[in-house]
Structure 1
């Protein structure tokens, strides 16, 4: 049984399914082969109440969203310009799964204070880590061509108190550090949060554009797409 480590202050936790020769409910032999396993329900998604329905809905939602990104927002997904991708709030890895036909490598990050879904990400055949976004993320030796984040303010809030544990500006400076020059940032959040993000984006010399959500979406979200520029004096 392999183990994985949450970012800081957490004990090791089992997060990879057992091999089929070992008795147990999480046998790898029950997981479909690639690429079917990417969209099939992972065995562990059925162990909790309503998780299976949430998983299916999340998979369909991200197929619609990624299609909107490519068709309406002029994002270079599916081209050689985007190879290294990060999803900062990955949940079940639906964003990465929707990119299965693209020549990309996706780091799925599950915030350490959110529900532990890294096991489902691994069962889909994806890669990922736990991380506390109030701390630096180890990026050596790579930077990212595209960084995607939904609900960016939730990454800095304490779920119990609802108070910010760190600052949105600090988080966006960390994103800027991880992103290569001329790389792309996609942020989905409420209009109020997107306005805050846009102000900081200008301060760190990104070129942001704000778009409406895809027509099928029922939420209040806006989408900010920004390009990191080369700094000149």
Structure 2
């Protein structure tokens, strides 16, 4: 009788675990609807279904504006590997569902660990501390999305200059950076463009209530070649 009681208790605990797993892991919409459908675990972070739907509309609008600013510089296959440096709930990546791209969603180590929400939405992601180097093997990125990353780094024990160097390292030549932050941050970055061989290709103010304090700066990384060296390469290629 004692053995039977132990078995019953074990089975009860097993079924309790299965119930918890089912409650948290089921209820996901099939792909690709799960990108925009509110995941069941939103309540763990204090979000309502209505809130994530509102956020998705905000980010859809922002992404459309980004592409309008980028359109003079990009072709259909220019952007493939993208990184959202502060992914939050993955709304930036979800707003790109019609684009032929994949997005690495990075959740800052010192913020809410929303990685499980990103996974629930069918996206890929990682947790990272931007005071450290990011493992980029085996690729570099075509575009980095830096939403308030520089405002956050000011509160840490590392420098914004170090973050600029790290972004330059993981961005391929002729790749793009989208900085979305406050005006002082944008002015700080502009001071370093020449030294990094970056070029500002577009600047825009926020155009809605959610964006009113935001400034968007679009940057393109240039090739580290002098005009003389470039001329010699062209000459050799045409011989």
Residue 209 of structure 1 and its aligned partner are, at CA, apart by: 3.5
Q: Assess if the C-alpha contact under 8 Å between 2:24 and 2:41 holds in 1.
A: no
2:201 is equivalent to residue 205 of structure 1: no
- CA 1:231–1:211 in structure 2 vs 1: closer, same or farther (change >3 Å)? same
Question: Which stretches in structure 1 are left out of the alignment for 5+ residues?
Answer: 1-20, 158-162
2:159 is equivalent to residue 167 of structure 1: yes
Task: Give aligned pairs, total.
Answer: 208
Counterpart residue number, 1:59: 56
Q: What is the Cα-based RMSD across aligned positions, in Å?
A: 2.0
Residue 57 of structure 1 and its aligned partner are, at CA, apart by: 2.1
Under a length normalisation based on structure 1, what TM-score does the superposition of the two structures give? 0.82
Counterpart residue number, 1:220: 213
1:23 aligned residue (4, 19, 26): 19
DSSP 3-state at the match of 2:178: strand
The 1-side partners of 2:57 and 2:75 are apart by 19
- CA 1:78–1:104 in structure 2 vs 1: closer, same or farther (change >3 Å)? farther
The 1-side partners of 2:43 and 2:143 are apart by 32
Q: Assess if the C-alpha contact under 8 Å between 2:69 and 2:202 holds in 1.
A: no
Residue 164 of structure 1 and its aligned partner are, at CA, apart by: 3.2
Q: Assess if the C-alpha contact under 8 Å between 1:69 and 1:75 holds in 2.
A: no
Counterpart residue number, 1:112: 109
The Cα offsets for residues 50-94 of structure 1, whole Å up to 9 and x where unpaired, read as: 443432222111100011112244376782110000000000011
1:180 aligned residue (172, 176, 183): 172
Q: Assess if the C-alpha contact under 8 Å between 1:210 and 1:222 holds in 2.
A: no
Residue 214 of structure 1 and its aligned partner are, at CA, apart by: 4.5
1:138 aligned residue (131, 135, 152): 135
Question: What is the correspondence of 1:74-153 to structure 2 with a 5 Å cutoff?
Answer: 74=71, 79-153=76-150
Counterpart residue number, 2:3: none
Residue 154 of structure 1 and its aligned partner are, at CA, apart by: 3.5
Residue 142 of structure 1 and its aligned partner are, at CA, apart by: 0.2
Under a length normalisation based on structure 2, what TM-score does the superposition of the two structures give? 0.80
The 1-side partners of 2:199 and 2:152 are apart by 23
The Cα offsets for residues 177-220 of structure 1, whole Å up to 9 and x where unpaired, read as: 00000000000001111000111222201001452235224421
Instruction: Give the structure with the larger helix fraction.
Output: 2
Residue 153 of structure 1 and its aligned partner are, at CA, apart by: 1.8
Q: Assess if the C-alpha contact under 8 Å between 1:202 and 1:208 holds in 2.
A: no
